[in-house]
Amino acid sequence: MKVTRSEPVLVHAAGDTPAPAAAEEYYFLSNLDQNVAVLMKTVHVFTSSSSSETPPRRGSAATVIRESLSTVLRSYYPFEGALAVRPDGRLAVRNARRGVPFVEAAADGELREVTDDVSAPGAASAAAAVLVYVDDAAASEENNPLEAPLLTVQVTSFACGGFVLGLAMNHCLADGQSAAAFLRSWSEAARGAPPSAAAPWLDRTLQRARPVPTVGFAHDEFTEIEDVSGGLAAGAFGGSGAPTVYRSFTLDAGKLERLRIAASGGGDGAAASAAAMCSTFVALTAFVWVARTRALGMRPEQRSKLLFAVDVRRRVSPPLPDGFWGNAVVFACCISGAGDLVGGPLSAAARSVRDAIARTDDAFVRSAIDYIEINRGARPSLTATTLVTAWNVLGLHTADFGWGEAVHSGPAELPQKEVVLILRGVRDSRSRVLVVGLPPSCMQAFQEMVDQL
């Protein structure tokens, strides 16, 4: 697919400089923000046949989206800034008002090329084609992270009348929930609709470390696990030089229900009581942890780690304000001997997941923030680790710029090999799609475990 794009233009917030940006040289980033200063690339696909309660304004999709971006940047002014290192060594956003790069493009391919299964051959390259300028930004980030734009936008039109909105957003400014809130606010501005939610709460000092940082938990999410299985370390995944292949697995409502029953301790197909039934997320996460550990052939004595993000907006005391904009997630962690994990019932793994969620309370969150304060630059170790990230709950697809909701909304590139994505079904919203990367010799074992559900 060939994509022809215009030169980027810089979009600025409409009107005068917002008061906070004018008054402050730096925009504060919390420790939870500092830990994820990487580009998050997404594509959002809209068809010409999409319906919307509010007709689009006159003009092309690119024009409408560019003009409304200018409007919404008044409330989300940090996107116009630049990353900087403050005198105290902390990462912050300098309120430089340098603008958001915006590219208008046209594709000669079919819209379906970017709506197909994310793991299908060519799908990743097709998604990259509508993020050409984003890739330029990524190259800039690799050379100097402080030079990369905090937000880059490309709108690619197709002959069928549909279009793709491609974004590269620095994760330090928004987690998944905050990114979705920004998209909804942006789309409402595009339709001329009144805001449906609270204005963004931009003050992140609520998540400052305590005056005397105190670590009250082990924080195994950062613990380095010894590779005793051979080939699990990042440099030798599945054996030196072994490639990683990606596949997607669709679990329909029937499989998900059977999985929930098994994860809740139901035997011989008998469902557990309603009160004891675990959520689909818990069941699916437990299954992925067990199945990936088994597929990789970890030795029984190998410690296997599971990481997954927990939204803490309502788990801290007091809860974060409505509309809090930033990163409000911490990693929950489970660790088990591989032998115990794959040899035990799925309900045992699910119980570990539920317990990890329950532990993520105000004390744990404050401890995690303080841990990062004391251990600057700390990153979760991924040796012998499965990291599950659930995109299906974010609601990114609900943004309606005047052409209806997106028919597909999700990541524009395949994840790291340790990461398993959970996506909503493209054709059936009740189904879930797992995107998994494994060495070829391990993928068949994972497939067999999915088939047995």
Q: Which residue type occupies 74?
A: R
CB 13 within 8 A of CB 73: yes
Rounded CA-CA distance 265/272 in Å is 6
- From the candidates 175, 220, 370, 400, give the one annotated as an active-site residue: 400
Quote the pLDDT of residue 88: 84
* Residue 171 annotated as catalytic: yes
Quote the pLDDT of residue 117: 55
For residue 375, which phi and psi values (nearest 5 degrees)? -110, 70
| Angle of the 280-295 helix axis to the 346-359 helix axis, nearest 10 | 120
CB 183 within 8 A of CB 396: yes
Paired residues of 433 in beta bridges: 250, 423
Q: Which residue type occupies 120?
A: A
* Residue 268 annotated as catalytic: no
Quote the pLDDT of residue 268: 43
Quote the pLDDT of residue 323: 96
Rounded CA-CA distance 184/92 in Å is 25
119 to 101, 114, 143, 148: CA distances (angstroms): 29, 11, 29, 28
| Angle of the 61-72 helix axis to the 176-191 helix axis, nearest 10 | 110
Compute CA 11 distance to the chain's CA centroid, rounded to the nearest angstrom: 25
| Angle of the 440-451 helix axis to the 280-295 helix axis, nearest 10 | 140
Rounded CA-CA distance 95/208 in Å is 20
Rounded CA-CA distance 330/326 in Å is 12
What is the full per-residue pLDDT of the chain (453 aa) written as tens digits?
788 888 999 999 998 766 666 678 899 999 999 989 888 999 898 987 655 555 555 568 999 999 999 999 999 999 999 999 988 889 999 998 999 999 999 988 777 766 655 555 445 556 666 665 555 555 555 556 677 899 999 999 988 888 999 999 999 999 999 999 999 999 999 999 999 988 999 999 999 999 999 999 999 999 999 999 877 654 334 444 568 899 999 999 999 999 999 999 975 444 556 557 899 999 999 999 999 999 999 999 999 999 999 999 999 999 999 999 999 999 999 999 999 999 999 999 999 999 999 999 999 999 999 999 999 878 888 999 999 999 999 999 899 999 999 988 888 888 889 999 999 887 777 899 999 999 998 999 999 999 999
pTM: 0.90
Region of residue 59 (phi > 0: left; psi between -120 and 50: alpha; otherwise: beta): left
- From the candidates 136, 171, 203, 227, give the one annotated as an active-site residue: 171
Rounded CA-CA distance 247/433 in Å is 10
What SS3 string covers the chain? CCEEECCCEEECCCCCCCHHHHHCCEECCCHHHHCCCCEEEEEEEECCCCCCCCCCCCCCHHHHHHHHHHHHCCCCHHHHCEEEECCCCCEEEECCCCCEEEEEEEECCCHHHHCCCCCCCCHHHHHHHCCHHHHHHHHHHHHCCCCCCCEEEEEEECCCCCEEEEEEEECCCCCHHHHHHHHHHHHHHHHCCCCCCCCCECCCHHHCCCCCCCCCCCCHHHCCCCCCCCCCCHHHCCCCCCCCEEEEEEECHHHHHHHHHHHCCCCCCCCCCCCCCCCHHHHHHHHHHHHHHHHCCCCCCCEEEEEEEEECCCCCCCCCCCCECCCCEEEEEEEEEHHHHHHCCHHHHHHHHHHHHHHCCHHHHHHHHHHHHHCCCCCCCCCCEEEEEECCCCCHHHCCCCCCCCCEEEECCCCCCCEEEEEECCCCCCCEEEEEEECHHHHHHHHHHHHCC
Quote the pLDDT of residue 238: 42
Region of residue 228 (phi > 0: left; psi between -120 and 50: alpha; otherwise: beta): alpha
